């Protein structure tokens, strides 16, 4: 809110916590009617302000963007901060000559580290990534 107001002091910013979105996504209920009902309940209040833009302020929220878009309607622009950040980072790296150009095969060599529930992460990742996650490594965050 502070950053947006700094950019444009005339903006009207409304905040809305949606704590059930995360467990719904992690449960794999991204397209479930329950998720739609929860989104409708959460966003009904904020829609009374006639908003034109909705910032998806959590890493999980873009994973249910279709459901959110149905609730808020096509007249509301959804902003995915992770995507926007990645675009800005790509541009910055290019400007600094720091891009790492790889072949498609090299780019597919991902390593995943998790602090808990490696099997659950693999199932979840397989449902949202365009490739299979074959292995994950569990690490103890207390060591860092």
Q: What is the DSSP letter of 114?
A: E
Query: Max CA-CA distance within the chain?
Result: 49
| Cβ 75 vs Cβ 54: under 8 Å | no
Determine the pLDDT at residue 132.
Answer: 81
Give pLDDT tens digits for 11-49: 999 999 999 999 999 888 999 999 999 999 999 999 999
Burial of 38 (0-12, 13-18, 19+ CB in 10 A): buried
Statement: residue 105 has pLDDT above 90: no
What pLDDT score does 133 carry? 82
Q: What is the pTM of this model?
A: 0.72
φ and ψ at residue 93, rounded to 5 degrees: -65, -40
Q: What is the pLDDT of residue 106?
A: 62
Q: Cα(53)–Cα(40) distance, rounded to whole angstroms?
A: 16
Judged against a pLDDT cut of 60, whether residue 131 lies above it is answered with yes
Residue pair 73/82 in contact by the 8 Å Cβ criterion: no
Query: Quick one: pLDDT at residue 12?
Result: 94
What tens digit of pLDDT does each residue of 42-96 get? 999 999 999 999 999 988 899 999 999 999 999 999 999 888 888 899 999 999 9
């Amino acid at each position: 809110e502070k950053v947006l107001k700094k950019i444009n002091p005339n903006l009207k910013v409304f905040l809305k916590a949606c704590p059930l979105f995360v467990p719904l996504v992690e449960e794999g209920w991204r397209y479930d009617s329950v998720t739609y009902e929860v989104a409708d309940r959460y966003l009904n209040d904020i829609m009374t302000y006639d908003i034109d833009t909705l910032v998806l302020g959590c890493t999980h929220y873009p994973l249910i963007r279709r459901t959110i878009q149905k609730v808020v309607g096509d007249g509301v622009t959804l902003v995915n901060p992770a995507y926007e950040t990645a675009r800005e980072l790509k541009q910055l790296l290019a400007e600094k000559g720091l891009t790492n150009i790889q072949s498609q095969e090299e780019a597919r060599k991902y390593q995943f580290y998790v602090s808990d529930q490696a099997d659950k992460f693999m199932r979840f990742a397989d449902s949202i990534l365009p490739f299979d996650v074959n292995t994950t490594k569990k690490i103890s965050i207390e060591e860092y």
